[in-house]
A and B are shown apart, each in its own frame.
Chain A
Amino acid sequence: MTDAAADAPIPKPDAGDRARPERQEPLLAADGSPLKKSLQRSLRRQKLRAFGLVAPLLLFVLVTFIAPIADMLFRSVENQIVSETLPRTVVALEQWDPEQDELPSEDTFLAMAYDLVEAQELKIHTRLGTRLNYETTGISSLFRRTGRGVDDFGEIYLDQFEDLNPNWDEAGPWVDLVADEGWEHPAPFEPSERFAALMSETAAAYASFARAIQQGSDDNPREEEPWAPVHMALYHDLMRTDPGAIAAYEGPRAEMLREARAAVEGFESQPVREMFVAEEEDWLDPEVWATIKTFSPPYTPGYFLTSVDLKLSPDGEVVAQDEDQRIYMLLFQRTLFMSLMIMGCTILLGYPIAYLISNLPLRTANLLLILVLLPFWTSLLVRTSAWKVLLQQQGVINDTLVWIGLVADDARLTMINNQFGTIVAMTHILLPFMILPLYSVMKTIPPSYVRAAKSLGATNWTAFWRVYFPQSVPGIGAGCILVFILSIGYYITPELVGGTTGTFISNRIAFHISSSLNWGLAAALGTILLVVVLVLYWVYDRIVGIDNVSLG
């Protein structure tokens, strides 16, 4: 023993040691430190190195795989657009009960007017309209058309104020009146505290106007007359403010206020609701408001409900989708059914081939394997198009059948742009994914098993079925998982040869991603697909056992 080890202090037993008194002192390494610790230290370095080696891939996977999936999951429930675009309306609607079958209050219409005018300046109201249109058709055009006229809401007040004093329709005086002394364009507009304390609605309405034009079209509020809703706010404020308070106000342009306060009692007024109705009758439909209220929370199950042909009724209940819009369950069923068909076809076609190849001498087997892999060397598009050529009504197969006389010329078979076409083309494309795992498993089954079975009296078939086949099941499992998961999310081939009856759910997802731009629904559909795959995987694990899957 070295001196160092002999002199090493005996480590104090820790709590764990005291609990088990029969344990010996910890073993010491050559340098006197406890063996466990030095082992951990040396293992840590190994672990760090291992981590360093996988880190780039980990990062890559994180950025390109995990993050998009997380984003997709988030998008499928995210719904902040309503509360972001119509913040005042969402608050005002909290008091409203859709069950009463009444229209919301005048305040709610007012809030909607302020929200909408700001949104149209920022050009985000159509986006919201589109979003809400997913839930109730017609809202999109309602928003779009109302948006065109909303900056004239309250024109009646604008005219009367202008008659009183032309300055009310000038940009400069308004800025003098409302703006904080320190504010200058292009800083975001700031209302003065003094004015806001006196006339809060006007200050808010003008600030919303000023910021919207600054942000939306980079205009200077000093050069733009405010839109009519600001005058409506001014009217409301003046009407409810005590004349004494206005007389005491000392801010810039106070005299304009005093003059207006004196005159305003004689002004003609108009309910906001009427302004909306004058623009669009549909604002009288409580369902529109109910839809806005239903989808005002920042998160919604709406996309998921749509994905399974359900929907949230305007009064917040889950009901079945309208008959003519139920397409997703059908698509999911079709996707599952066709994926299973394709999987079955690849087993039927791939198993004998894999069996043949695995029993051939190596050289021939390699040649055949290359033939199996050959399709990978041609573009997917080319292969799919080739199927079009083969299968179409004027295509090679139909021509041949007609020529042989099996099929009449006027009764050519429809083999493309339907389920048949998709199944045929996809079976062809996915076949290698079945053959390869099957082959690699079959190659490892020694011929002596079948020989043993035969020597024990089994016929060729029994030897195959009772002895060979069970041992090739892991390969079938691996092939099935590969083919099924690939086909359930396949997109290009069904798009090209599927027509209307042979498309998959993924085609619908692509449609929502790139054409209808309903990303939330696309995300929900994708999430459901992911969950279905995971559930099937779990079921497979339960029935067959995932460790029974072998890729070779």
Chain B
Amino acid sequence: MALDAGNRKTDFVVFDRVQKSYDGETLVVKDLNLDIAQGEFLTMLGPSGSGKTTCLMMLAGFETATHGDIRLDGKPINNIPPHKRGIGMVFQNYALFPHMTVEENLAFPLEVRKIGKDEREAKVRRALDMVQMADFGGRRPAQLSGGQQQRIALARALVFEPELVLMDEPLGALDKQLRERMQFEITRLAHEIGITVVYVTHDQTEALTMSDRVAVFNDGKIQQLAEPDVLYEKPENSFVAQFIGENNTLQGTVQDIDGKVATVRLDDGEIIDCTPVNVSQPGERTQVSIRPERVEYNRERLSPDAHTIHAEVLEFIYMGDIFRTRLRVAGNEDFVIKTRNAPDQRRLQRGEKIEIGWLPEDCRALDA
């Protein structure tokens, strides 16, 4: 078993070549390989239908893998029934038992573990305190707001002190403000307790702000598994680039690859330098990806190495902290740039012809 610097197992949860098919015709999960370290907050991010829930359900034991092994703490769990896996779980609709009070809900996992009454009550109280819901023990779930139910569901998944907690879009039903607060609280709690969390969401902001690592799912496969900043700044394929954050794309053909620089001829004939990511030979079609905030039009701020290109302003939106400008660049009319509202920043006019530039490192040549 591999240990990291903090003496934690780096392969606490292992998906080893896992496949899943419901109907015997299509693979919902295709060859999933994933190691999750102890104490890690790992998020499965992906569009709806990409197989995230299925993966989670296989881990929890409610679905069986069609092929491959899932190991928890070194032990294969394929044949262990769900209730013996000791995995806490938070469901999208919370699944709080409606006929029990909050306290009874929390006591339930302790009762089935035959924990004595005093200890049980102490643990329930601690769990309620932990999610700041100490005053609500006597209520029924239906008498709680969505956010409160969410906290109770969280407390219930943690009260029996599992080593691993699974959460399937737990914040999906909450409004934006509450969601942001809960994101913060969940990460705080997870780090405080040092618990391993596998979190499923289709909301990329949630994934980026909460996770230690993010696995981007699409089409039953992990497209990229990386830390949030890497995911954002160094997307490895065009799906990830499109899916995570805002992204400008320019279509083109690779002309030449020379180590860390690829020369790409855009479709309107312009030639630019990019960082090659998953293009390998000249002549290949490519999709060049540039983040809106990495594009600069202020000559003074433009670095000398920057590659410049002509653009026409189509729209200029004042958004308070930033300016958002839509440009026509190399035939693409949806090229967006974001600039900080600094005192020396010039406001652009519609129809203005400008010159924009970016560093070749920020411009990534991806698969088309």
Q: Which residues of A contact B (CB under 8 A)?
A: 446, 448-449, 451-460, 462-463, 466-467, 470-471
Sample (6) of A-B pairs whose CB atoms are under 8 Å apart: A451-B89, A456-B88, A456-B160, A457-B84, A462-B112, A467-B97
Cβ-neighbour of B93 out of A446, A457, A458 (below 8 A): A446
Binary contact track B182-203/A, C-beta < 8 Å → 1, others 0: 0000000000000000000000
Residue of A nearest to B168 (CB): A448
Given known pairs A448-B91, A448-B93, A466-B108, the reply for A455 and B83 (CB within 8 Å) is yes
Within 8 A of A (CB), among B146-160: 156-157, 160
Please indicate which of the listed interface residues B62, B95, B109, B156 has the most CB atoms of chain A within 10 Å of its own CB. B95
Q: Does B113 contact A (CB under 8 A)?
A: yes
Please indicate which of the listed interface residues A449, A463, A470, A471 has the most CB atoms of chain B within 10 Å of its own CB. A449
Q: Does B137 contact A (CB under 8 A)?
A: no
Q: Is A451 a contact of B160 with CB atoms below 8 Å?
A: no
Q: Does B299 contact A (CB under 8 A)?
A: no
Question: In the complex, A485 Cα to B82 Cα: how many Å?
Answer: 42
Shortest C-beta distance, A381 to chain B (Å), equals: 43
Cβ-neighbour of B95 out of A448, A457, A466 (below 8 A): A448
Shortest C-beta distance, A346 to chain B (Å), equals: 23
Binary contact track B81-119/A, C-beta < 8 Å → 1, others 0: 111111111011101011100000000110011000000
| Given A451-B62, A458-B108; 6 other pairs, CB 8 A cutoff | A458-B109, A460-B83, A462-B112, A466-B108, A470-B97, A471-B98
Shortest C-beta distance, A469 to chain B (Å), equals: 10
Shortest C-beta distance, A532 to chain B (Å), equals: 30
Q: Does B231 contact A (CB under 8 A)?
A: no
Contacts of A471 in B (CB 8 A): 98-99
Contacts of A448 in B (CB 8 A): 91-93, 95
Shortest C-beta distance, B323 to chain A (Å), equals: 45
Contacts of A446 in B (CB 8 A): 93, 95
Please indicate which of the listed interface residues A455, A463, A467 has the most CB atoms of chain B within 10 Å of its own CB. A455
Question: In the complex, A170 Cα to B84 Cα: how many Å?
Answer: 110
Question: In the complex, A242 Cα to B3 Cα: how many Å?
Answer: 137
Q: Is A456 a contact of B156 with CB atoms below 8 Å?
A: yes
Question: In the complex, A340 Cα to B108 Cα: how many Å?
Answer: 34
Cβ-neighbour of A455 out of B89, B92, B113 (below 8 A): B89
Contacts of A466 in B (CB 8 A): 108
Shortest C-beta distance, A463 to chain B (Å), equals: 8
Cβ-neighbour of A459 out of B83, B87, B157 (below 8 A): B83
Question: In the complex, A460 Cα to B84 Cα: how many Å?
Answer: 11
Q: Is A470 a contact of B112 with CB atoms below 8 Å?
A: no
Please indicate which of the listed interface residues A449, A454, A463, A471 has the most CB atoms of chain B within 10 Å of its own CB. A454
Q: Is B99 a contact of A458 with CB atoms below 8 Å?
A: no
Residue of A nearest to B86 (CB): A457
Shortest C-beta distance, A452 to chain B (Å), equals: 4
Q: Is B109 a contact of A456 with CB atoms below 8 Å?
A: yes
Contacts of A459 in B (CB 8 A): 83, 112
Q: Is A455 a contact of B99 with CB atoms below 8 Å?
A: no
Residue of B nearest to A467 (CB): B97
Q: Is A455 a contact of B88 with CB atoms below 8 Å?
A: yes
Contacts of A456 in B (CB 8 A): 83, 88-89, 108-109, 112, 156-157, 160
Question: In the complex, A454 Cα to B160 Cα: how many Å?
Answer: 13
Q: Is A454 a contact of B83 with CB atoms below 8 Å?
A: yes
Q: Is A453 a contact of B108 with CB atoms below 8 Å?
A: yes
Q: Is B93 a contact of A455 with CB atoms below 8 Å?
A: no
Shortest C-beta distance, A462 to chain B (Å), equals: 6
The 8 closest A-B pairs by CB, nearest first: A456-B109, A452-B95, A455-B89, A448-B95, A454-B82, A470-B99, A454-B83, A458-B112
Q: Is B112 a contact of A457 with CB atoms below 8 Å?
A: yes
Q: Does B36 contact A (CB under 8 A)?
A: no
Residue of B nearest to A451 (CB): B62
Residue of B nearest to A456 (CB): B109
Q: Does B60 contact A (CB under 8 A)?
A: yes
Within 8 A of A (CB), among B203-241: none
Question: In the complex, A471 Cα to B140 Cα: how many Å?
Answer: 14
Question: In the complex, A449 Cα to B99 Cα: how many Å?
Answer: 11
Q: Is A457 a contact of B60 with CB atoms below 8 Å?
A: no
Within 8 A of A (CB), among B62-82: 62, 81-82
Question: In the complex, A446 Cα to B97 Cα: how many Å?
Answer: 11
Q: Is B112 a contact of A451 with CB atoms below 8 Å?
A: no
Residue of B nearest to A468 (CB): B97
Q: Is B109 a contact of A457 with CB atoms below 8 Å?
A: yes
Question: In the complex, A456 Cα to B97 Cα: how many Å?
Answer: 12
Residue of A nearest to B113 (CB): A457
Residue of A nearest to B93 (CB): A448
Contacts of B157 in A (CB 8 A): 455-456
Shortest C-beta distance, B12 to chain A (Å), equals: 18
Cβ-neighbour of B91 out of A452, A460, A467 (below 8 A): A452
Q: Is A458 a contact of B83 with CB atoms below 8 Å?
A: yes
Cβ-neighbour of B82 out of A449, A455, A470 (below 8 A): A455
Shortest C-beta distance, B17 to chain A (Å), equals: 25
Question: In the complex, A453 Cα to B93 Cα: how many Å?
Answer: 14
Contacts of A470 in B (CB 8 A): 97, 99
Cβ-neighbour of B87 out of A455, A463, A467 (below 8 A): A455
Contacts of B62 in A (CB 8 A): 451, 454
Question: In the complex, A457 Cα to B84 Cα: how many Å?
Answer: 6
Contacts of B109 in A (CB 8 A): 456-458
Question: In the complex, A158 Cα to B91 Cα: how many Å?
Answer: 104
Residue of A nearest to B108 (CB): A456
Shortest C-beta distance, B10 to chain A (Å), equals: 25
Cβ-neighbour of A449 out of B61, B97, B112 (below 8 A): B97
Q: Is A455 a contact of B112 with CB atoms below 8 Å?
A: no
Residue of B nearest to A448 (CB): B95
Question: In the complex, A462 Cα to B113 Cα: how many Å?
Answer: 11
Residue of B nearest to A548 (CB): B99
Q: Is A452 a contact of B89 with CB atoms below 8 Å?
A: yes
Residue of A nearest to B89 (CB): A455
Contacts of B87 in A (CB 8 A): 455
Residue of A nearest to B91 (CB): A448
Shortest C-beta distance, A504 to chain B (Å), equals: 36
Question: In the complex, A379 Cα to B84 Cα: how many Å?
Answer: 51
